Amino acid sequence: MSSSPLSTPLVHWHKSHGGRMVDFAGWRMPVQYSSIVDEHLAARQAAGLFDVSHMGRLAIEGSGSCAWLESLLTRRVADIEVGRARYTLVTSDAGPSSLTILDDALVTRETDAPDGTPRLAMVVNASNRDRVVAWLVSQLPPEGVTLHDRTFQTAMIAVQGPLAVDIVCGLCNSDDATRIRSLGNYRATRATVAGHDAAVSRTGYTGEDGLELVIAADAAVAVWEAIHAAGSPRGLRPCGLGARDTLRLEAGMPLYGHELVADSDPFAIGLGLAVNLDAASGTPRLFPGREKLARMKADPAATIRVGLAFDSKRAAREGSAVVVAGTTVGTVTSGSLAPVLGHAVAMALVARHLAGAGTAVDVLVRDAVQPARVVPLPFYRRLTPRS
């Protein structure tokens, strides 16, 4: 990580619109523009506009790119159809029985190059970009695959909320708008948004319907301002990292460094779906950490990820102890007020036999004991499925 913070192409916009800038994962980012609660509610009720350009964006191309990623990622890559995205873990190993989870990532199979060469895009966490890139580069074959870190040539904007798709489609011609509206979840396409070429995917990190756009860095301000201008009269608000965190927490989504860490058991934290031990044919796949992951699946972990609901607004924070009858049975991994619910929630790793919904626990929030109960995740689920 560099010593002076990195800036996204939108840094001046953020500063001139009241963004409170903080250092996050080596980047200067807005934590909020107004109130985290107001920004959160805008994303739930209308739309939120997020600069997520700090996320790492990698381009992987070449005749061998699918087979290479297939050999490295916990999800199958060989059978991703063009225009589909998959959530995966990035793992490394120091030996046949070890496992290090380097990151979680989204891999998208983009439209092939005109000569038929496969192209994939990978989005990784800002905090892990350096080590993921270093690991992937160290694993590159002599030929057939190229990897480019496109983080600084591009920008990434998330538009999330019930009006998000409509707002973005209003900035596209009718063909592109029709194609974007028909995108299923975890589907991607290319479109011209506000006059600029964009990779558009129906993905996000808020629990709402929405889109993520990757555009050239020098188009970022124009596209952002067009979305902001079109959406503001309908309730869209720019949202900082504060609302991004409360939205993902309310939606029960894990965050690397909190719920998911280097030695996590994915099956214990609800990420079993991110691990394909076997190929579609049923034969075992080969990827770093596969042996350890197979054992984790066969031998369920003692602690699992749960949701905790509090009566009060006072939030447990990462590291707070979860206690039953005076014995510590778990640890909070994330906690906050849940703005839509109006009370505090937390995610925690808790002993499996106490992880059933309704179990009453105490959480040590600094010097106070806060009662809570185990509830199913997510805490919040949007009511209306997208049309």
Partner 1 sequence: MAADLKFAKTHEWIRPEADGRATVGISAYAVEALTDLVFMQLPAVGKKVKAGESIGEIESVKAVSDMYAPVSGEIVEVNAALPNQLETLGKDPYGAGWIVRIKPDDPAELANLLDRPAYEALVKS
Residues that bind partner 1 (CB under 8 A): 31-32, 34-37, 242, 246, 312-315, 317, 336-337, 339, 344, 366, 368
Q: How would you list the strands of the sheet with 100-110, edge to edge?
A: 84-92, 100-110, 119-124, 56-61, 146-149
CB of 380 to partner 1, least distance (A): 15
**Structural contact between residues 176 and 191, judged by C-beta atoms closer than 8 angstroms:** yes
E strand map for 111-249: 119-124, 146-149, 154-160, 188-193, 196-201, 210-216, 237-239
**Which lies closer to partner 1 via its Cβ, residue 196 or residue 317?**
317
CB-wise, 56 or 339, nearer to partner 1? 339
User: Residues in the chain, how many?
Assistant: 387
CB of 314 to partner 1, least distance (A): 4
Rounded to 5°, the CA angle 9-11-12 comes to 105
Whole-angstrom distance, CA of residue 176 vs CA of residue 191: 6
- Residue 80 corresponds to which tokens in the numbers above? 């991703």
First to last CA, the chain: 42
Which C-beta is closer to partner 1: that of 34 or that of 63? 34
Would you say 181 or 317 has its CB closer to partner 1? 317
User: Do residues 375 and 357 make contact, with C-beta atoms less than 8 angstroms apart?
Assistant: yes
Listed in order, strand segments (DSSP E) in 48-112 are 48-51, 56-61, 84-92, 100-110
Q: Measured from the CB of residue 37, what is the shortest distance to partner 1 in angstroms? A: 5
The first and second tokens of residue 268, run together, are 């214990």
Give me the least distance between CB of 232 and partner 1, in Å please.
Answer: 20
Least distance between partner 1 and beta carbon 122 (Å): 30
Q: What is the smallest separation between the CB atom of 249 and partner 1, expressed in angstroms? A: 11
d(CA 103, CA 272): 15
Q: Which residue's CB is nearer to partner 1, number 31 or number 309?
A: 31
Residues sharing a CB contact under 8 Å with residue 160, sequence separation 6 or more, in sequence order: 43, 47, 48, 50, 204, 205, 206, 208, 209, 210, 211, 239, 247
Q: How far is Cα 344 from Cα 309, in angstroms, rounded to an integer?
A: 6
Minimum CB–partner distance for residue 88 and partner 1 (Å): 30
Backbone dihedral angles phi then psi of residue 273, each to the nearest 5 degrees: -70, -15
CB-based contacts of 137-143 (< 8 A; 24+ apart in sequence)? 139/68, 139/72, 140/68, 141/64, 141/68, 143/64
Closer CB to partner 1, 137 or 368, in the complex = 368
Nearer of residues 275 and 337 to partner 1, judged by Cβ: 337
CB of 274 to partner 1, least distance (A): 29
Closest residue by Cα to residue 346 from 250, 220, 223, 271 = 250
For partner 1, the closer CB: 128 or 370 = 370
Neighbours of 280 (CB within 10 A): 10
With respect to partner 1, which residue has the nearer C-beta, 105 or 243? Answer: 243
Cβ of residue 158: shortest distance to partner 1, in angstroms? 20
Least distance to partner 1, CB of residue 35, Å: 5
In terms of CB distance, is 85 or 239 closer to partner 1? 239
